[in-house]
Amino acid sequence: MKNLSVLFGLVFSMAIHASEKNDYVDVKINHDEANGQTILTCEPKQKIENMPEQWVKICNEIGQALLQEAKKNGKNVSLTAEPFGMGGRFAQTLSQDLPDGVVPTKITSGDLTIR
């Protein structure tokens, strides 16, 4: 997590994006200065049979950490328990019916900027 803070501080201070990867998902935060939006994405990296049963929970946990770092770095973002919200829950439910060999689709949060 220390590496995430350093990476996040360097990258987010330039207002581009930051990410955190693990064996299962790649979660990115992107703050678009032009339209004032902050969006999270979570992209699974494994086939469904190799993913943890609750892979969206991992997305939400990493997303929360990225949002907390953004807040510490002065970005006006909403801290929420489930950054991927209903879309994440829907993706989790649908992925339970996927056949082996399929990688679940990337999920995207709504705009997490506080106006």
Query: How confident is the model over 97-109, as pLDDT tens digits?
Result: 999 999 999 999 9
Query: CB–CB of 88/60 below 8 Å?
Result: yes
Query: Measured between alpha carbons, how far is 39 from 30 in angstroms, rounded to an integer?
Result: 5
Closest CA to 40 of 17, 56, 58: 17
Q: Rounded to 10 degrees, what is the CA torsion of 78, 55, 106, 87? A: -50
DSSP class of 24? S
Single-letter amino acid, residue 37:
Q
Decide: pTM greater than 0.95. no
Tokens of 103: 């990688």
> pLDDT class for 28, splitting at 50, 70, 90?
very high
Mean pLDDT of the chain: 85
Query: CB–CB of 85/105 below 8 Å?
Result: no
